Chain A
Amino acid sequence: MTEAVREVRAVRGRPGAPGGSRRPSTAPRPSATRLLWALPPVALLALVFLYPLALVVQQSFQPDTGGTSVQPYADVFASEAFREALWTTVWLALGSTAGCLVLGFALALVIAFVPFPGARAVSRFIDVFLSFPSFLITLALLFIYGTVGMANGLWTDVTGAAEGPFQFLTTPWGVLLAEITYFTPFVMRPLLAAFSQLDTAQLEAASSLGARAPRIIRQVVLPEALPALAAGGSLVLVLCLNEFGIVLFTGAKGVTTLPMLVYGKAILESDYPGACVVAVVNVLISVGLYGLYRVVSRRAGA
């Protein structure tokens, strides 16, 4: 990889080489050009991403009473709502990620290794699924399991009861279900790519040595899939930490995550410093957990 890069650079640098004797003073030009090329994207990044982020951080240190202090942080950290939202966010994200990894691994195994008609179509559909907005899946779940959804409707029709038994959608479990459903394909995509690289001769060797499917999956397939699991898992973890649409659309009143809290504070309570504090915390957790994940997965030899 680095060698390829070096080669590309060497090739790019070549136009100067033959003319070297003619204009030796132009030797440092390539690096200047490179800096010039780097400037627009860096400037753009700073303008659209870093500057607003800096504004948010700045705002979080400016209480409504004026001046600059850590008072907004003290207020937010002291509030029960924040601590609850923090806990809810973290366990929902961790739970969803774990669920996605398990479900995604199982589904990808089936799609990749169990020959069934339509396996390719399913694999295609996963690509399409990735482009769906996250609230769509929540809507679909509402249609099925919502208070007036199909499942409950069928139940009340059949039994004559006033209410159906499926009320979990407005609980944290509903959010968990929706997040797992929506984010599982994000794990499957890299897994399917990894499985397609897997040498089937290895699986056959393992099998002829006397191993059954579970052992082959555990000891041959899983180790090869670890990098893909780490990649998919860290992506899903960060996406879940910051997920807003799914939580909003399930209409789970008791489920307040950090993004929901930001929304509530900023839009409903007009408490901008408070909202910014929560946002900063949210960003720090995302970056921190992601970093941790990367370190751990690198240690694991991924």
Chain B
Amino acid sequence: MGIRFDAVTVAYDGNVVLDALDLTVAPGEVMALLGPSGSGKTTALRAVAGFVRPASGRVFLGDRDVTDLPPHRRGIGMVVQQYALFPHMRVEDNVAFGLKARKVPRAEIRTRVAEALEMTGMGAYARRHPRELSGGQQQRVAIARALAIRPDVLLLDEPLSALDAQLRSGMLAELARLHRELPDVSILYVTHDQVEALTLADRIAVMDKAKLRACGTPRELYRAPTDEFTASFVGGANLLPVTVGATGVRLGEAELKADTAGAAVGARATLCVRPHLVGLGEGPNRLTGTLSEIQWRGATHRLYVEVDGHRVMADLRELRDPPGLGDEVTLHFAPDDAVLLPAGVGHD
């Protein structure tokens, strides 16, 4: 069953925190809702779960308009950052809670609890209380509890952000596996972490300031972002203010080759280049400036180079002989690796 937002607007005390959201999550699809803190992601998710009432617009699950349905009648699985397990219940009773509420026959409850715990690798912990589990284990139980009711729609609100980095990447792989095992479940995955979104999602919806900025596959958003906010939030980007010419663009004095299709000559625009696609030394699109900062990141060096007053970032395979601060540095990038964006539309 898919999820559809139809111009959903949510306001608190006249303060619009979700502005006419239009978004469709296909059946079986993983949609990441990605954006900085306060951009309205949780609000959108809670509108699906039924905990916030839209001021206007409708929410659909499949073909069913659920906007006026109370949460307990929506049949949605939900997992939140802080797990929200019932502390006085054993793991198995936590997982059985939804089944009992739905009056599932006793005998069936036992098998479905075991099944859900097995699926999340928590079978051995059925008799424990939540306080006897680690954070990662608690989150697995929360996921098992949500899956036990066999929802068609699973809502995940920053499910990994309370875990440490190592556990997080493990859980990310677990979530991907779970989705392969349950290919029909639509997942709305709220996160502010672009790595989680890029790793897990079939499509990413980028949110900023209560608005949907862009929506597409991770590859589309990464390779061909359509606005500045998306370009810098998903993957990081050099955003260079340029003027469109006949065969390329001008950045200050420098002439750069780029695909200018669709842009009017003389117009102002933004050239987006990923830092890891910038190389050191002479090349087709040459930028020369002074090195203002250099960071060693193990496998790579991150260089910050001031070019005509613009800071250009370059991620280079670890340099054997890195330049010093204040040195003149020449960078280049392939014309195909640059994307021309309309100026200043995205992030204001």
CB under 8 Å from chain A, chain B span 101-116: 101-102
Are B78 and A205 within 8 A (Cβ)?
A: yes
Q: How far is the CB of B16 from chain A (nearest CB, A)?
A: 21
- Cα distance A220–B72 when bound, in Å? 15
Q: Is the CB of A209 within 8 A of B84?
A: no
Interface flags for B132-166 (1: CB within 8 Å of A; 0: not) read 00000000001001100100000000000000000
Q: Which parts of A166-215 form the interface with B (CB within 8 Å)?
A: 199, 201-202, 204-212, 215
- A contact residues around B145 at 8 Å (CB): 205, 209
Cβ of B241: which chain A residues have Cβ within 8 Å of it? none
Q: Is B101 touching A215 in the complex (CB atoms < 8 A)?
A: yes
**Could you say which residues of chain A place their CB within 8 Å of the CB of B89?**
219
Other-chain contact of A211, B72, B78, B80 (Cβ < 8 Å): B72
Measured CA separation A219–B97 after assembly (Å): 9
Which residue in A201, A208, A219, A301 is a CB contact (below 8 Å) of B71?
A: A208
Pick from B77, B80, B97, B142: contact of A206, CB below 8 A: B97
Contact of A209 (CB < 8 Å), options: B51, B80, B88, B97: B97
Residue among A209, A210, A223, A224 with the most chain B CB within 10 A?
A209
CB-based contact A201/B149 at 8 Å = no
Q: Is B216 an interface residue (CB 8 A)?
A: no
Complex contact A201–B82 (CB within 8 A): yes
Contact at B98–A210, with CB atoms within 8 Å? yes
Output the least CB separation between A94 and chain B (Å): 26
Q: Is the interface of A mostly helix, strand, loop or mixed?
A: helix
B86 pairs with A202, CB closer than 8 A: yes
Q: Assess whether A199 is in contact with B84, with CB atoms less than 8 Å apart.
A: yes
Q: If the complex has contacts A208-B49, A208-B72, A215-B101, are A202 and B149 also in contact, measured as CB distance less than 8 A?
A: no
Please state if A208 and B88 are interface contacts (CB–CB under 8 Å): no
Bin chain B's interface residue count: 20 to 34
- From A209, A212, A219, B149 is in contact (CB under 8 Å) with A209
Total A-B pairs, Cβ < 8 A: 67
* Closest beta carbon of chain A to B298's beta carbon, Å: 38
List chain A residues, Cβ under 8 A from B49.
204, 208
Q: Mark A279-302, 1 if CB is under 8 A from B, else 0.
A: 000000000000000000000010
A212's partner among B72, B84, B87, B146 (CB-CB below 8 A) is: B72
Is B75's CB within 8 Å of the partner chain A? yes
User: Nearest CB to that of B75 among chain A residues?
Assistant: A210
Q: Does B74 contact A (CB under 8 A)?
A: yes
Most buried by A among B51, B73, B97: B97
Q: Is residue B197 within 8 Å, beta carbon to beta carbon, of the partner chain?
A: no
Query: Max chain A CB contacts within 10 Å: which of B74, B76, B101, B146?
Result: B101
B54 is an interface residue with CB less than 8 A from chain A:
no
A130 → chain B closest CB, angstroms:
29
Residue B2 CB within 8 A of the other chain: no
User: Hey, which chain B residues are within 8 Å of A208, CB to CB?
Assistant: 49-50, 71-72, 74, 76-78
Choice from A201, A211, A223 contacting B84 with Cβ under 8 Å: A201
**Size of interface on A: residues with Cβ below 8 Å to B:** 18
Residue of B nearest to A210 (CB): B101
Question: Closest residue of chain A to B78, judged by CB?
Answer: A208
Instruction: Decide if B80 touches A205 in the complex (CB within 8 Å).
Output: yes
Per-residue CB contact flags for chain B residues 319-343 toward chain A (1 = under 8 Å, else 0) read 0000000000000000000000000
Collect the chain B residues with CB atoms within 8 Å of residue A202's CB. Answer: 84-86
A208 to B101, CA, bound (A): 10
Instruction: Give the CA-CA distance A219 to B87 in the complex, in Å.
Output: 11
Contact A220 B86 (CB under 8 A): yes
Q: B94 to nearest A CB, angstroms?
A: 9
**A201–B316 CA distance with the chains assembled, in angstroms:** 45
Which residue of A is nearest B82, CB measured? A201
Question: In the complex the two chains form, is A205's CB within 8 Å of B84's CB?
Answer: yes
* Minimum C-beta distance from B187 to chain A (A): 15
Residues of B within 8 A of A211 (CB): 72, 97-98, 101
CB B172 to nearest CB in A, in angstroms, measures: 22
What residues of chain B lie closer than 8 Å to A215, measured between beta carbons?
101
Q: Which residues of chain B come closer than 8 Å to A201, judged between CB atoms?
A: 80, 82, 84
Q: Which one of A210, A219, A301 has the greatest number of beta carbons of chain B within 10 Å?
A: A210
**A209–B49 Cα gap in the complex (Å)?**
10
Please state if A199 and B82 are interface contacts (CB–CB under 8 Å): yes
Given contacts A204-B51, A209-B145, A210-B149, contact A223 B78 (CB under 8 A): no
Chain A: which residue is nearest B51 at the CB level? A204
Instruction: Name the B residues within 8 Å of A204 (CB-CB).
Output: 49, 51, 71, 78, 80, 84
A225, chain B: closest CB distance, angstroms: 11
Instruction: State A202–B88 Cα separation when bound (angstroms).
Output: 12
**Which one of A207, A219, A224, A301 lies within 8 Å of B72 (CB-CB)?**
A207
What residues of B have a CB within 8 angstroms of the CB of A224 in the complex? 87-88
Q: Which of B21-77 contact A (CB under 8 A)?
A: 49-51, 70-77
Q: Are B101 and A209 touching (Cβ within 8 A)?
A: yes
Chain A hits for B88, CB < 8 A: 223-224, 301
10 other contacts beyond A205-B78, A206-B86, A208-B76, with CB at 8 A cut-off? Answer: A202-B84, A204-B71, A206-B97, A207-B71, A210-B72, A211-B72, A220-B86, A223-B88, A224-B87, A301-B88
Residues of chain B touching chain A, judged by Cβ–Cβ distance below 8 Å, are 49-51, 70-78, 80, 82, 84-89, 97-98, 101-102, 142, 145-146, 149
- When A and B form their complex, which 10 residue pairs have the shortest distance between CB atoms, in order from nearest? A209-B98, A201-B84, A211-B101, A210-B101, A223-B88, A205-B84, A207-B71, A208-B78, A210-B102, A202-B84
Can you list 23 pairs linking A and B with CB atoms under 8 Å apart? Answer: A201-B82, A202-B84, A204-B71, A204-B80, A205-B78, A205-B84, A206-B86, A206-B101, A207-B50, A207-B70, A207-B71, A207-B72, A209-B97, A209-B98, A209-B101, A210-B72, A210-B73, A210-B102, A211-B72, A215-B101, A223-B86, A223-B88, A301-B88
